[in-house]
Amino acid sequence: MSKKIEFINLKKKYGEINALNNINYFINEREFFVIFGPSGAGKTTTLKIIAGLELPSSGGINIDNKPTASMSPKDRNVRMVFENYALYPHLTVFENIASPLRANRFSKKDISGKVNSIASTLGIREYLGRLPRELSGGQKQRVSLGRALVIKSDIYLLDEPLAHLDAKIRNELRAEFQNIKSFLSKSTVIYVTHDYLEALALGERICVMDKGEVIQIGNPEEIYYYPVNTFVAQTVGQPEISLLNLDISYKNGFYFLTNHNIDIKLSKRFNNLLKRYNKNKIIFGCRPQFWDFSKQEVKENDGYLKTEVQAFEIRNFKGVILTRVNSEQIIILCKSFEEIKEKEALWVKPDEERIYLFDVDTGDNLLLKNI
Ligand code: ATP
């Protein structure tokens, strides 16, 4: 069981659209691998090509070092689970889950054992006698997953299995996916999502895609804390990272990032990097949880910027302050019971240990790149 999957110069075109543009990476056997990206990134196309439902335009895929070009979908031992996996309305939960086993002529004893085992993993054993119409949305989704996963396979391809559930059920099922992961631990699993929380919670490694390109592959920590560029920094994390377009200047041995009312003095540890960067504009980034702030005026010149509060919201029991300086927005996360009023002045300061510097032309993370 379980297979290694390798993409070699894989391209897929639909007319003029490059759905996949020269993809090269591999997925380890038994890995729980997440493909994450916005709509149109090429996530589903990747799965369809692995399953053999679509053919590459050029390049290809190896499964366990064997080219798949001449392998029929059946020989690949791949099971693909789509987002909308309809249940048979007239069959009980047990029979719905058992249907692929019956189609494959498993014995009665085997069927009972396998259905009960997956139903326990998914927490739906007590509903085995019910009809789909007697289930909640989340329970129905568990039954769909059960039916898809009941037959063991080397490779499972899961295409947004939680996408159309409401937020509460999504959260529950995301937590329960840890159980499902151990149930599938002997198989290679590729899980597609456009939800970064799902990607970070589930993936051993995550491939971030956009417009048919692989942007970054890494474990959750790498993807969140070491984004390769502004695209990854912005799409992974909510509320979004603040990105400021700033001018670079150099005075008395220090670099300053400035723009009208913004004046950020960097410590000397950035000197070498900025000297090599050798451009006069840069994109500065800092995530919302890494800003310090004060409602009182900070007189000393110690790195605070004066901003104006535009809005204060409560999201997920946290306070989110939207502030503005010049035409730039800075988003700051704080405690939910902070008293923050619109139009008030707020002095804010990024934690220098947590800032990012991105190339103004390419958006690349300069702290990762040895420029
Ligand atoms: P979503 O999250 O919206 O499902 P995705 O990342 O799965 O997006 P794909 O379905 O792989 O994206 O599509 C990648 C690109 O290829 C898109 O621009 C899409 O419009 C295009 N595409 C996909 N299938 C076809 C098709 N059968 N014919 C023409 N274009 C297609």
How much distance in Å is there from the Cα of 83 to the middle of ligand 1?
Answer: 15
Class of domain 242-368: mainly beta
Residue 42 CB less than 6 A away from ligand 1:
yes
**What is the 351 CA–ligand 1 centroid distance (Å)?**
40
- 150 within ligand 1 shell (Cβ under 6 A): no
Instruction: For ligand 1, say whether the CB of 35 is within 6 Å of any of its atoms.
Output: no
Query: Which of 12, 34, 36, 44 most suits a substitution to test ligand 1, by most atoms within 8 Å of the C-beta?
Result: 44
CA 15 to ligand 1: nearest atom: 29
159 CA from centroid of ligand 1 (Å): 13
Which pLDDT value is given to residue 178? Answer: 81
Atom of ligand 1 nearest to the CA of 20: 14
Closest CA to 367 of 250, 206, 230: 230
Instruction: List CB contacts of 332: < 8 A, sequence separation 6 or more.
Output: 288, 291, 293, 320, 321, 323, 346, 348
Q: For residue 12, give Cα distances in angstroms to 52, 307, 337.
A: 13, 47, 51
Give the pLDDT confidence score for residue 371 in this predicted structure: 52
Ligand 1, atom nearest to 37 Cα: 6
| Shortest-distance atom of ligand 1 to CA 44 | 7
pLDDT of 260:
87
- Ligand 1 geometric centre to CA of 287 (Å): 31
Ligand 1 lined by 96 (C-beta under 6 Å)? no
Domain ranges of the chain: 5-227, 242-368
The count of other CB atoms within 10 Å of the CB of residue 308 is 13
| Residue 41 Cα to ligand 1 middle (Å) | 7
Nearest to 50 by CA among 151, 192, 173, 210: 192
**3-state SS assignment for residue 52:** coil
Distance 164 CA to ligand 1 centre (A): 18
331: β partners: 322
Residues 24, 6: Cα–Cα separation, whole Å: 7
pLDDT of residue 81: 77
The pick from 17, 21, 195 for probing ligand 1's pocket by mutation, whose C-beta has the most ligand atoms within 8 angstroms, reads: 17
**Count of CB atoms situated within 10 Å of the CB of 294:** 12
**Which CATH architecture is the domain 5-227 placed in?**
3-Layer(aba) Sandwich (3.40)
Integer angstrom CA distances of residue 320 from 85, 128, 342, 345:
37, 44, 12, 15
Nearest residue (by CA) to ligand 1, atom 11, is 42
Q: Which residues of the chain have pLDDT under 70?
A: 1-2, 82-85, 300-301, 370-371
